[in-house]
């Protein structure tokens, strides 16, 4: 081979190597997403996951569990529910910043599986409680990766036109009836607009997302339950009790729904940032006791009470807590507070903690995301049934490590203890060796043999 041919060969190999290396390095932009898609986790993380999914033990299975995850997204809200019939729900998606969005997406990827142990591809239900960014900020990214079959949105219209008459993101809110309620129901932040846009543009295998404006008075859409008899092992109910109708509020927080999740007489009260006005409207309906509000009698109590607005003094009023609990039950109720460590708002407020103490809540039952140990990721809860030797069945609420004890282990198809960053570096080294170094070594040996 002539020197000219060898020179051309070097140039071609160098160009190919540069293109391959540039492509590998460019892929680092999507490192987090690739790691999640390919299941690439460091060995330390894998070991921690194995510790959190111990053997099933001797508990008699009586149907699937109900699992609830209050995900730590710092000064925001995100809750994931795994229903007994394998349907999944997301309530809010934290703030619009990379740290919180990555934390939520990673938590979904690592912990939320279908009945066979595979990663989920969508959510059956997504609830956006209200349009503030600490609840809707991560919704666009989550819905792009995990679209919703059904999306519940707040009764707030998004205005896409800025003060100069220009479109901000190119999305026109189709819920035109909301416009008629007046300016109090208009939110014009791009974060809220993108959350709605992702919902309306989402589809699962060509079927568009069903979008519902949350309304507790709509009998058809305000109750979610499986098509089962109420005494079936997997029966549950998820009911919206607020907001009531198309009422207009001056505070975005008050559009947040008040929801009750019930499974075998274990009840979770869930809300977004509902403030005193929305709570007062709900309490008034509960006191009337008409229709579905008849359940709120003197003996009604929830087992889990999620405080509104991250434990703010403007939410979780005494009247509201009294509707959701009894004086005798408060000592056993788990109170959940989703807030960030050392947040600028001072959440949870001291007045609220004192209120809980006065009503009989125990300190050890006040669970906060800002006090979670590093790496835990969420306040996990589970309702599971067990059968005694005499055949009697009982359902219990488990919290923390107890909540994840009997979950099926994740389905594992391959064990790769590398991240995408490490794979890219190795790939670049291999490209250099194969295309640049080895040809030169072979040429050198050939030349050496020729001299002999």
C-alpha distance across the termini of the chain, in Å: 18
Q: Is 290 exposed, middle or buried (0-12, 13-18, 19+ CB in 10 A)?
A: exposed
Mean pLDDT for 379-390 is: 90
CATH number 3.60.15.10 is the correct assignment for the domain at 59-404: yes
Rounded CA gap, 282 and 295, in Å?
13
- For residue 30, what are the contacts with CB-CB under 8 A and spacing of at least 6? none
Q: How far is CA 414 from the centre of its chain?
A: 26
Collapsed DSSP state (helix, strand, coil) of residue 262: strand
Task: Say if residue 422's pLDDT is above 60.
Answer: yes
pLDDT of residue 58: 42
pTM: 0.78
Whole-angstrom distance, CA of residue 96 vs CA of residue 141: 9
pLDDT at 449 over 90: no
**Cβ neighbours of residue 48 closer than 8 Å, sequence gap 6 or more:** 375
Average pLDDT over the chain reads: 87
Strand partners, 161: 167
Please give the Cα distance from 257 to 127 (Å, whole number).
Answer: 9
CA angle (85, 89, 94) in 5-degree steps: 160
Of the listed ranges 274-278, 341-345, 420-424, the one predicted with least confidence: 420-424
SS3 of 92, please?
coil
* 27-41, 148-162, 165-179, range with the lowest pLDDT: 27-41
Task: Give the SS3 label for residue 53.
Answer: coil
Handedness of CA 159, 161, 164, 168 (dihedral sign): positive
d(C-alpha 147, C-alpha 90), whole Å? 11
DSSP track, 310-360: GG-TTSS-HHHHHHH--TTTGGGPEEEE---TT-TT-SSPHHHHHHHHHHT
Reported as a single tens digit per residue, the pLDDT across 255-264 is 999 999 999 9
Q: Is pLDDT of 59 > 50? A: no
Poorest-pLDDT segment among 113-122, 333-342, 394-403: 394-403
Write the pLDDT tens digit of every residue in 192-242.
Answer: 999 999 999 999 999 999 999 999 999 999 999 999 999 888 999 999 999
Return d(Cα 403, Cα 409) in angstroms, integer.
14
CA angle 225, 245, 204 (to 5 degrees): 45
Place of tokens 């993101």: 169
Taking the C-alpha atoms of residue 262 and residue 268, their distance in angstroms, rounded to an integer, is: 6
333 and 302 in contact (C-beta within 8 Å)? yes
Instruction: Give the model's pLDDT for residue 413.
Output: 43
Predicted confidence band at 185 (pLDDT cuts at 50, 70, 90)?
Answer: confident
């Amino acid at each position: 081979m002539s020197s000219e041919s060898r020179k051309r060969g070097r140039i071609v190999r160098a160009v190919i190597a540069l293109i391959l290396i540039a492509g590998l390095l460019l892929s680092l932009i999507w490192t987090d997403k690739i790691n999640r898609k390919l299941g690439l986790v460091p060995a330390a993380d894998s070991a921690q996951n194995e510790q959190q999914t111990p053997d099933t033990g001797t508990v008699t299975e009586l149907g699937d569990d109900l699992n609830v995850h209050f995900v730590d997204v710092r000064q925001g809200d995100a809750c994931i529910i795994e229903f007994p019939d394998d349907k999944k729900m997301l309530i809010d998606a934290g703030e619009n910043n990379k740290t919180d969005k990555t934390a939520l997406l990673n938590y979904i990827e690592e912990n939320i599986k279908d009945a066979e142990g595979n990663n989920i591809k969508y959510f059956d239900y997504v609830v956006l409680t209200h349009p503030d960014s600490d609840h809707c900020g991560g919704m666009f990214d989550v819905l792009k990766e995990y679209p919703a079959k059904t999306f519940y949105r707040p009764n707030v219209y998004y205005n896409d036109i800025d003060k100069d008459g220009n479109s901000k993101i190119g999305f026109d809110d189709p819920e035109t009836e909301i416009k008629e309620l007046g300016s109090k129901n208009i939110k014009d932040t791009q974060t809220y607009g993108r959350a709605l846009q992702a919902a309306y543009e989402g589809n699962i295998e060509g079927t568009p997302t069903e979008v519902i404006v949350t309304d507790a008075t709509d009998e058809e859409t305000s109750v979610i339950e499986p098509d089962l008899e109420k005494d079936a092992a997997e029966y549950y109910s998820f009911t919206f009790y607020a907001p009531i109708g198309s009422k207009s509020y001056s505070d975005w927080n008050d559009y947040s729904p008040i929801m009750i999740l019930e499974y075998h007489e274990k009840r979770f009260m869930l809300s977004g940032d509902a403030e005193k006005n929305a709570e007062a409207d709900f309490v008034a309906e509960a006191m009337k006791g008409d229709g579905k509000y008849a359940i709120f009698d003197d003996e009604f109590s929830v087992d889990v009470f999620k405080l509104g607005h991250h434990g703010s003094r403007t939410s979780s009023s005494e009247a509201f807590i009294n509707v959701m609990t009894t004086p005798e039950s408060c000592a056993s109720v788990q109170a959940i507070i989703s807030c960030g460590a050392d947040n600028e708002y001072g959440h949870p407020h001291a007045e609220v903690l004192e209120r809980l103490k006065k009503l009989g809540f125990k300190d050890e039952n006040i669970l906060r995301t800002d006090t979670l140990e590093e790496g835990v990721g969420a306040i996990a809860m589970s309702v599971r049934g067990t059968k005694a030797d005499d055949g009697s069945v009982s359902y219990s609420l488990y919290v923390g490590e107890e909540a994840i004890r009997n979950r099926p282990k994740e389905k594992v198809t391959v064990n790769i203890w590398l991240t995408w960053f490490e794979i890219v570096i190795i790939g670049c080294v291999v490209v250099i060796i194969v295309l640049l170094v080895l040809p030169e070594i072979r040429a050198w040996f050939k030349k050496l043999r020729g001299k002999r």
